[in-house]
Amino acid sequence: MPGKTSKRVLLVLLLLATTFAVGFTYYITQQTVVIIADEQVQTVNTFKDTVGEVLREANIKLQNADKVEPGLSAPVTDGMKITVTRAFPVTVTADGREHRVITTPVTVAEVLYKAGVFLNEEDVVKPGLDKVVEPDETVQVVRVTTEEVEEFQEVPFKVVRKEDHSLARGLRRIIQRGKPGKEKVVMRIRYENGKEVSREIVDREIVEQPREQVVAMGTLQTYSRGSREFRFQRAIEVVATGYTHTGNVTYTGVYPKVGTVAVDPSVIPLGSRLYIEGYGFGVAQDTGGFIKGKRIDLFFENRQEALNWGRRKVKVYILQ
């Protein structure tokens, strides 16, 4: 009887030892891992050996461009943190084409590298190269080129006015005709995606100097006709024609007579006393549909006299 009791005790002790060994082995081989994915955090206990196996066990599916830290083949350790960063699309526009890149949050520079888009020195990228991209963002590459071209431009001449005391006031005479000069201008032209966006002058050089125009300005205000001398406000050169009786009164309401002159009131005010070379004294009393600008119409007693006058360029003196 004592022998049977000893055997039972031994069997119980052996069973307890085995259970303890199995439990201890289970305890030391199980790992606790934290998984951060899809904006969720979960803690799992696992016997898996690698990060990839743990994610499969947790039913977390990965796309090719998703980023896992640590890597999928990394061994699992107790208390490990596994982070899954999902990839997203980014559009790159360059050279008239669109490139779709699937990426995790990286800089614009890295996205361009993935898209196979390379930059020249002056190219502009929007947003900047150091910016970290976001889902569905568009990265724009603006191709920038510049060139310098030479152009020849006209340089205007100056007008110099000089008083001439022998010339009637209101008249002018060109003593020396002006001539434009020539200037060589170097322009830097900037193109963005092949289209001109700006021009900048980087150099200019006068290759031919302009010649100034010299104009004599009349100051004389007296006119002599035979033994008679009279003063005038100013003189004007006009084209003068002749007309005769029509049976109608003038614009000012009087019947025309020799000395009646039709004028453009914006040039010669109505009522002005005039002296017309080759015709004599007159008064601005009429207007006409064709009398515009520097043109006047002189009254004659008959049609033949008007025809004999014809069309002439004359000086008109507006008397004081």
- What is the distance between the alpha carbons of residues 98 and 32, in angstroms, rounded to a whole number? 45
244 with 273, same domain?
Answer: yes
153 with 134, same domain?
Answer: no
Average pLDDT over residues 209-219: 97
- What is the distance between the alpha carbons of residues 87 and 135, in angstroms, rounded to a whole number? 8
The pLDDT score that the predictor gives to residue 226 is: 75
Residue 285's contacts (CB-CB under 8 Å, 6 or more residues apart) are 250, 251, 252, 254, 256, 260, 261, 262, 270, 271
- What is the distance between the alpha carbons of residues 35 and 97, in angstroms, rounded to a whole number? 39
Task: State which residues form the domain around 172.
Answer: 146-215
17 with 80, same domain?
Answer: yes
Decide if pLDDT at 92 tops 90.
Answer: yes
Q: How confident is the model at residue 26 (pLDDT cuts 50, 70, 90)?
A: very low
User: What pTM value is reported for the model?
Assistant: 0.56
**Cβ proximity of 43 and 34 under 8 Å:** yes
Q: How many domains is the chain built from?
A: 4
250 with 300, same domain?
Answer: yes
188 with 225, same domain?
Answer: no
- What is the distance between the alpha carbons of residues 208 and 305, in angstroms, rounded to a whole number? 54
